[in-house]
Structure 1
Amino acid sequence: MTHPNQAHILVIDDEPDLRTLYELTLLREGYQVEAAADLAQARAQLQQKRFDAVITDMRLPDGLGLELLREMVIQHRPERCVVITAHGSAENAVDALKAGAFDYLTKPVDLKQFRSVVASAIQGPADHTGIHERNKPDGDAGTTTAKAVVRITETSPTLQRLVGESAVMQAVKARIVKVAGSMAPVLIQGESGTGKELVARAVHDCSHRSAGPFVAVNCGAIPENLLEAEFFGARKGAYTGSAQDRLGYFQAAKGGTLFLDEIGDLPLAMQSKLLRAIQERVVRPLGSAQEDTVDVRIVSATHKDLATAVAAATFRQDLYYRLNVIEISVPPLRERREDLPALCRELLERICRESGFRVPDLSAKVLSTLQRHPFNGNVRELENILHRAIALGDSDDLHLESPPAEYVAVPENLQDFLDGQERSILTKVLQETGFNRTAAAAKLGISLRQIRYRIARLNIITPNGDEAADEQA
C-alpha cells in the first residue's frame, strides 16, 4: 500500500533494533523513511533534503535531540518534530514541547500511538498555507506568524469572533495561530467573562484537529462522585444506575480537543488521575479491565492563580507544569477599551439577529458612557448591558441605564468563592498573630476548635511548632 502523499520521514535513534522497528512500522504505513543513528548523521541528512516529519530520540551518542530541534527552529525548517523520551521523564517532554516540538512519545513506545502521532505530524496546517512555520518556540512570532494571523482570521469563524484590533488582542490572536500547530497543552488564563472558551475554540479551529470534536467540560460543575465516570467513561453495571456503556470526555474528544474549563476546581484526587491520563495517554473506564488509548489535545482554562494554588497545596505542582506548557493570557476589557466600538457593534448585531430586532444606532454619547464603565465582568458584562438596553428600548436609538448599574460578578462556583474569602481572612489574621491559633481565634471571635477545623478544611499551611505556640497562649 502506498501512502497518498508519500510523506518523507527522518527517524533518529542510536538503538538499531528500535530504529528498525520504527522504520518498518512507517514503511508499512506507506511513508518514505530515512534513518540516522546520531546527531551528526541527522544533520547531514537534513542538509541534503527536506522531510515532512522528524522523529528523534531524546538522548543520542553525540548529544540531545533537543539540540537538533532548536537548530531546526533557528533555521526555520518546516518539518514537525516528534521527540521520544524515557518513560516517566515528564520534564524532558515539557522541555521538548516548549522548545517547539510538535509532540512527544515515551518509551516503551506504543506502536498504535506512534502511528497516530506521526499521522498528525505530517498533516498540513489548518490554514492551508503550506507551511509549518507556526510551530516555533515562545518569543519568535516572526513575519510568517503575522501573515498567518491575517490568513486564518479571514477563514476561521471562531477567530473572527475574537473582536478587537488593540495591541493586546492582536497578540492573543498571534499566539493562538502560533500554538495551534503543535500538540502542546495550552493553559488559558483570564478573568471571568473575558472569553476564555472562545480562545480555546479558536486554538482548536486553527489546528490540524479542526475537523475533530471540540469537547468543553466545566470542571467545577460535575459532582465529585461522578468525575471519574464523566472523564474516563464507564461500563454497564459499573455503578448504580449505569444501564449501558458510556463514553467519557476523553473518548468523546478522540482526534480533537478536550477543553477543561475552570481546571482549578478539580479536587486533588481527580487531579492525580487526570495527570496520569495526560502523561500515559490512556484511561481506564469504570468497571473495565482494559485501558483505552486516548488521542486528544488538552486545552485548559482558569480564572484562578494556579501558581498560588500550587503554593497552597490545593493544586498539584506536576499537573500545573504539565498543563502550563504554553500559556495564553486573555486581557480584561478595561485594558483594551479601544476595542469597545467594534465589540459593541458585533454584539448588537448578534443580539438583534437572534431577537429579531432592528440594530439600533450606536451614538458617541453611548460609547462615551461605556468608556467610563469599570467592566468588572468584562465582555460578558458588556453583553448584558446591551441586552438590557435593547430589551428596554422604545426607539431606533440605543439608550443605556444612566449610569449603567454596577455589575456584581457572579461567581461560577459559590462555595469555592466563599472558601477563598474565608481562606484569605484566616491567613491574614494568622500572619498578624505569628500563626498563634489561640490568638487568631480570639481576634476572630471563634473557638480554638473552630479555627483548627477551618485551617484543616481550607488546607491552610502553617509553620511547624504552632501547636506549641497554641499551648503557651
Structure 2
Amino acid sequence: MAKKSRGAKRILVVDDERDLAELLELTLLKMGLEVDKAHSVSEGRALLDAHRYDLCLTDMRMTDGEGLELIRHIQARKMDVPAAVITAYGSTENAVAALKAGAFDYLAKPVSLDQLRTLVKSALRIDDAPAVQEGAQGARMLLGESAPIHQVLDLIDKLARSQAPVYITGESGSGKERAARAIHAKSSRVEKDFVAVNCGAIPENLMESEFFGYKKGAFTGANEDRDGFFQAASGGTLFLDEVADLPLAMQVKLLRAIQERKVRKVGSTIEEAVDVRLISATHQNLAKCVEAARFRQDLYYRINVIELKMPPLRELGSDIELIARHVLARLAHQNGMDEPEFDAGALTALLHYDFPGNVRELENMLERALALSDGATICQDDLQLNPAGSEPLGSAADGVGTLQDYLDRVEKQAILEALEKTGGNRTQAAKLLGVTFRSMRYRMERLGMKE
C-alpha cells in the first residue's frame, strides 16, 4: 500500500495484471495522489468497505470476477466514489455495459497515460465543481414543480456526475437543449465550453471539416488551419441536436471519433486526442431509424448509454402557468414593458391547449399576445388559439373557420419543426419545406410567428 500523502486524493487501483497496476500506481503517484492497489475483485471490495476513496480504477476482467461487480457494489452501498474501468481494445460492449452500470468513464487497453491523466483530473474535479445557482446557467432553466419535471431534474443531477454519453429524447420544442446545458452546468466540465451543433443544418459536403476541422490548403478556400466542433468543445460538452439527420458516411466517422477519442483534421495525416462529453438529441425515434437502416446500430448503442426523456408541455399540468408567466416576464423585459397579467379565460385556455410545438410554440404565442394586448392584461383572444386544445377541428358549433384554424396549426407546426432542424435558419428551413424564402416569410407573418 502506498504511503499516504497529507491532504492527497486517494485512488484505488484494482487489476490482476501486476505490471499494469504498478504502471498506473507510478503515474498516479507522480500526479501527487495517494494510491492503494488490489489484485482481485474480492480484495478491491474489501478495501472499498474499509476506506474512503476519491476514485476507483478497475480492470474489467479479473481471475475472480468482473470490475462491474465493484461498480455495482459502489452503487448498491451509495458510496460517493466515481469508478472507471479498463477494457480490452475494441471491446465496445464492455465499455457500454460499464457506463450503464454506473461507471464514470473507461480506458481502453493498451492504456494511454495521457488519457489516464485526463480521466483522473476530470474525476477528481467532481466534488470541487462550483455549485450551480438556480438561474440562466443551471438546471432551473427547466422550470416546474410537477412530477415529470422533478424526475428530469433528479436524473440531470445524476448524469452531471458521469462522463457517460447521454441521449435526450422528446418532441420538438420540449427543452432538449436546455436539459443538455443543465447537465453541463452541473458537471465538472462547467468551466469549459458547451458547443451545440444542429446536425440537420450542416451541408453534407462540409460536415467532416465542420466536426473535425481542417488544415490550410486541404481544399479550395482553406486559407488557414481551423478547429472543428470537437476541438472547440475540448474539456467541455459537445451537444449534437437532431443527430438522426447525420448521413451514414458521417456516422461512421463520428463513431470512430467517439471510440478512439481522437480526430483527424481534413488534410492532416495525424490524429489528435480530444476530450469531450457527448450529449445527443433528436425528436425522431432513433430505434426505428436503426430498423430502417438510416442510422447505424453500433453508433446508436454508443450514444444511447443513458436516455433522458423530456416530457411534452401538455403533460406538465399547473406548471404550464408557471412557465407561461416566466416567459411573459422575460418578453416584457426585453421589450421594455411592464409585465401584464393573464385573465382567467387566458389561463384556462393555456391549461387546456395541446401545445404541439411545446415551449417554443408557447414563446411564439406569448410574444404575439404581448403585441396584441392592451399592455395590462393578456386575454384569451390575444392568445389566438383554439381553446379545445386536443380537438383542433372543433365541434359543429364552432361554425365557419374551424378547418382553417386546423390547417394553420398544421402549417405552423411544420414550420416550427423545420426551424428546429436548421437551428433557426429560415433559408434552410424553406428548402426543407419545399417553398421559397419569400413564401416562408409571408407564411410566418400570416401565422404571427417571430422571424
Query: Which residue number corresponds to residue 115 of structure 1?
Result: 117
Q: 1:296 to 1:403 in 2, by over 3 A?
A: closer
* Alpha-carbon contact 2:321-2:351 (below 8 Å) kept: no
Q: Quick one: distance in 2 between partners of 1:303 and 1:376?
A: 12
Say how many residue pairs are matched: 396
CA distance in 1, matches of 2:219, 2:5: 45
Instruction: Trace 1:299-318 onto structure 2 (pairs within 5 A).
Output: 299-318=279-298
- Measured in 2, the distance between the counterparts of 1:299 and 1:342 equals 28
Q: Which residue matches 1:466?
A: none
Residues 438-458 of structure 1: per-residue CA shift (max 9 Å, x gap)? xxxxxxxxxxxxxxxxxxxxx
Question: SS of 2:345's equivalent?
Answer: helix
Alpha-carbon distance between aligned partners in 1 of 2:430 and 2:319, rounded to the nearest angstrom: 34
Written as runs of structure 1 = structure 2, the 5 A alignment for 1:35-114 is: 35-114=37-116
Q: How does 1:197-276 map to 2 (within 5 A)?
A: 197-276=177-256
Q: What one-letter code is carried by the residue in structure 2 that aligns with 1:55?
A: L
The equivalent of 1:192 in structure 2 is 172
**Equivalent residue letter for 1:84:** I
AA at the equivalent of 2:112: D
Cα-to-partner distance string for 1:9-32 (whole Å, 9 max, x where unaligned): 111111122111111111111111
Does 1:372 find its partner at 2:352? yes
Residue 77 of structure 1: CA displacement? 1.2
Q: Are the equivalent residues in 2 in contact too, given 1:126–1:207 (CA < 8 A)?
A: no
Is 1:292 aligned to residue 272 of structure 2? yes
State whether residues 366 and 383 of structure 2, in contact with CA within 8 Å, keep that contact through their aligned partners in structure 1.
Answer: no
CA distances 1:201-243 after superposition (whole Å, capped 9, x unpaired) = 0010111111110000000101111101111111111111011
- Scaled by the length of structure 2, the TM-score of the pair is 0.84
Q: Is it true that 1:339 corresponds to 2:301 in the alignment?
A: no
* Aligned match of 2:369: 389
How far off its partner does 1:402 sit? 4.3
Separation (CA, whole Å) in 2 of partners of 1:403 and 1:169: 25
Q: 1:224 to 1:50 in 2, by over 3 A?
A: same
Structure-1 separation of matches of 2:216 and 2:256: 24
Distance in structure 1 (CA, Å) of the matches to 2:431 and 2:79: 47
RMSD of Structure 2 on Structure 1 (CA): 2.1
CA shift, 1:394, in A, is: 2.7
Match of 1:178 among 158, 163, 171: 158
Partner of 2:448: none
Note the C-alpha offset of 1:4.
9.2
1:100 and 1:403, CA in 2 relative to 1: closer, same or farther beyond 3 A? closer
Cross-structure match for 1:31: 33
Question: AA paired with 2:50?
Answer: Q
- Secondary structure of 2:321's counterpart equals helix
Cα distance per residue 1:41-99 (max 9 Å; x no partner): 21232232111101000011110000111011111111110100001111110110110
- Whether the 8 Å CA contact 2:137–2:181 is kept in 1: the answer is no
Partner of 1:434: none
TM-score normalised according to structure 1 size: 0.80
1:401 deviates by 4.2
Structure 2 counterpart of 1:88, one-letter code: G
Aligned-pair CA distance for 1:124: 2.9
Q: Which runs of 5+ in 2 are unaligned?
A: 387-404, 422-428, 435-451
Alpha carbons 2:86, 2:106 under 8 Å: kept: yes
**Is this contact kept in 2: 1:158–1:198, CA < 8 A?**
no
Counterpart contact for 2:14–2:59, Cα < 8 Å: yes
